[in-house]
Amino acid sequence: MLHQKKILLGITGSIAAYKSALLARELQRRGAEVRVIMTPSATEFITPLTLATLTGHPVHSDFTENKDSGEWTNHVELGLWGDAFLIAPATAQTLSAMVSGTCDNFLMAVHLSSRCPVIAAPAMDLDMFQHEATQSNLKILKSRGVPIIEPESGALASGLEGKGRMAEPESIANWLENWFRSKAPLAEKKVVITAGPTHEPIDAVRFISNRSSGKMGYALATELNALGADVHLISGPVQLSAPAGVQVTRVETAIEMHTIALKSFETADIGIATAAVADYRAKSSSSVKLHRDEIPTAIQLQENPDILADWGKRKRGTQVLIGFALETDEGVESAKSKLARKNLDFIVLNSTQNEGAGFGTDTNQISIFEQNGKSHIFDLKSKKEVARDIVTILLTHLPQ
């Protein structure tokens, strides 16, 4: 959730400022871009050089960059840059200044001019934290919508024990991740995706399958997870590693995929069928390897269940269903017929007639046909970009 998020990290004058270096590092490790602002007193606890070196950007603590030339730091620009302004540690003095709108240092000027949400992680001695004035300031800030990352209890710099220690960098990073997730467009949406081929056994080593690589389903799972969805990917055998943050269930056969997919769809908001499920399986298979002279020259086939069609029969309320159609001809009529027959909200068509589209490739060229009659034709793009296009249309199908 922190990938490419712009975090403005404000450091104020507390001994906990030393933890801010680790915090900056942790946020960057999770993919965030970090810029640091310090109050003059914070620079007595940790040097701007440390933070500038860690983040790769100059640290701002004064209105003027260069007193001789009159070059100044644009606090308005910095305030507009961030997706979130995290003040960690936030001293009792800073919390009070935030309440009163005091603007006596560069950090407080950014605080007043920032349009992004401001979040504070207090750090102070236990008596300062418990003081009525501090508690009242925290209450006012919360009522204004400023989230407070609660301090932890433990040994304090004063030698006392109690609540007041700034939360650990890892806990703050986790808190931020959850916070971004709760604000994401697909927060609290559960998505189930089928992906890859299935293997239908003939014997212990041979199977019937197809050329599906699973890349489209995995790209969709990654994209949906980045938008805050809780993604369950049911994957046939593929050479891809599980996307971070996605729950993956690996299966072999259509029957296994069908059982798990039906169960998962019961509680899902969105179902996406990208899998190239084998339409048929061998009527009987051997649990041991068959020798050449034991292999039948004709294999009797039995139809596999249609997972997407069964989702379509069970679809209720606001559940959204998306299917895929891979065709070797133009395929529009066939895709539209599947859209209606399988009770879908929209279908994604890719035709192998178009170079760079279909199985195995890193690119795809899709058209989308919606149940409401709208259609969209896209250019050849990477599967990651295609996933974005599909999700953009998906968002228009969700209840507002």
Enzyme catalytic residues: 210
For ligand CTP, give the closer residue by CB, 173 or 273: 273
d(CA 142, CA 134): 12
Enumerate residues 170-199 that contact ligand CTP by CB under 6 A.
194
Rule CB under 6 A: choose which of 91, 213, 225, 304 binds ligand CTP: 304
d(CA 333, CA 82): 47
Rule CB under 6 A: choose which of 141, 251, 260, 325 binds ligand CTP: 325
Residue 208 interacting with ligand CTP (CB under 6 A): no
Residue 308 interacting with ligand CTP (CB under 6 A): yes
**How far apart are CB 192 and ligand CTP at their closest, in Å?**
11
Identity of the amino acid at 271: G
For ligand CTP, give the closer residue by CB, 81 or 324: 324
> Hey, what's the torsion of the CAs at 220, 227, 189, 245, to 10 degrees?
70
Residue 234 interacting with ligand CTP (CB under 6 A): no
SS (H, E, C) 88-136: EEECHHHHHHHHHCCCCCHHHHHHHHCCCCEEEEECCCHHHHHCHHHHH
- Radius of gyration for the alpha carbons in the chain, expressed in angstroms and rounded: 28
Rule CB under 6 A: choose which of 279, 352, 370, 385 binds ligand CTP: 279
For ligand CTP, give the closer residue by CB, 83 or 279: 279
Residue 394 phi, psi dihedral angles, 5° rounding: -55, -45
For ligand CTP, give the closer residue by CB, 13 or 196: 196
For ligand CTP, give the closer residue by CB, 174 or 352: 352
Residue 307 interacting with ligand CTP (CB under 6 A): yes
**How far apart are CB 354 and ligand CTP at their closest, in Å?**
16
Are 72 and 63 in contact by the 8 Å Cβ rule? The answer is: yes
Q: Name the segment binding ligand CTP (CB under 6 A); options: 96-104, 166-174, 270-278, 373-381.
A: 270-278
Q: Name the segment binding ligand CTP (CB under 6 A); options: 87-95, 109-117, 320-328, 383-391.
A: 320-328
**How far apart are CB 374 and ligand CTP at their closest, in Å?**
19
> What are the beta bridge partners of residue 86?
9, 119
Enumerate residues 64-93 that contact ligand CTP by CB under 6 A.
none
Identity of the amino acid at 190: K
SS3 of residue 44 by DSSP: helix
**How far apart are CB 265 and ligand CTP at their closest, in Å?**
11
Residue 95 interacting with ligand CTP (CB under 6 A): no
For ligand CTP, give the closer residue by CB, 48 or 331: 331
Enumerate residues 113-132 that contact ligand CTP by CB under 6 A.
none
Rule CB under 6 A: choose which of 338, 351, 369, 390 binds ligand CTP: 338
Please calculate the CA angle 49-119-128 and round it to the nearest 5 degrees: 85
For ligand CTP, give the closer residue by CB, 293 or 303: 303
User: What's 168's DSSP letter?
Assistant: P
**How far apart are CB 114 and ligand CTP at their closest, in Å?**
45
Rule CB under 6 A: choose which of 275, 349, 368, 391 binds ligand CTP: 275
Identity of the amino acid at 60: H
List, in sequence order, the alpha helices (H) in the chain.
Answer: 17-29, 48-55, 75-81, 92-100, 106-113, 126-130, 132-143, 169-183, 215-226, 254-265, 307-314, 332-341, 383-395
d(CA 172, CA 155): 19
Rule CB under 6 A: choose which of 42, 277, 357, 391 binds ligand CTP: 277
d(CA 400, CA 105): 42
Are 190 and 269 in contact by the 8 Å Cβ rule? The answer is: yes
Task: List residues binding ligand CTP (CB under 6 A).
Answer: 194, 254, 273-275, 277, 279, 304, 306-308, 323-325, 334, 338
